[in-house]
Amino acid sequence: MQAAADRALPREDLSLAINSIHGRTQNQLHIHIDCIRADVRDALREHAAEIGDSWAPFPLPLSGHPYQAMRVETLDRPGATPFQLLADRLPAARADMEDETLIAVGATFTDGEPGFYLLASRADLATGNRGEAEELQDHSCAVKAR
């Protein structure tokens, strides 16, 4: 992505998303690496003080869907990968991980330390939520034009 942008992109513009089984077009788990939508990045910045070290409801819907949010320092801490944090700390997630969607968004916290915001949502076909965190990404990567 950064090569295509011809410059280094700030970590706050980058994301990794995994869709639920209901939001997959190729019937297999894969990771979408892309820019985050500017409105999502701005919402994370605006509500940064409300995002803690445990899962809690994000204060507003994103793309019309409810999300849980938490902050982490790294994505690869032994015993605390994003999937493990989702399964271990959200009781409904562990039973049916295939219904969960997850996105990690690069962050620089208010203390200047780098990390990530994790956002998770549960597919609910009755409400039109297919569990596609990819919906929070900007595949055209408009931020690279800044």
Q: Contact 17/100 with Cβ under 8 angstroms?
A: no
> What does the DSSP assignment read for 47-80?
TGGG--SS-EE-SS-BTTB--EEEEES-S--TT-
Residues 51, 70: Cα–Cα separation, whole Å: 5
In angstroms and rounded to an integer, the radius of gyration of the C-alpha atoms of the chain is 15
Q: What is the pLDDT of residue 7?
A: 59
Q: What is the pLDDT of residue 1?
A: 53
Q: Contact 61/135 with Cβ under 8 angstroms?
A: no
In whole numbers, what is the pLDDT of the chain averaged over residues?
Answer: 85
Q: Where are the domains of the chain?
A: 2-145
User: Residue 5: which pLDDT band, with cuts at 50, 70 and 90?
Assistant: low
- Is the confidence at residue 18, as pLDDT, over 90? no
CATH code that applies to domain 2-145: 3.30.428.30
Most confident of 18-27, 43-52, 94-103: 43-52
**Sign of the C-alpha dihedral, residues 118, 123, 128, 134?**
positive
pLDDT in tens, 77-116: 777 788 888 888 777 777 787 788 899 999 999 888 999 9
Tokens matching residue 105: 């968004």
Burial pattern 93-116, b for ≥16 Cβ within 10 A else e, equals beeeeebbbbbbbbbeeeeeeebb
Residues 144, 1: Cα–Cα separation, whole Å: 9
Contacts of 85 (CB under 8 A, 6+ apart): 55, 70, 72, 118
Q: Contact 31/16 with Cβ under 8 angstroms?
A: yes
Q: Count CA atoms within 13 Å of residue 7 on its CB side.
A: 8
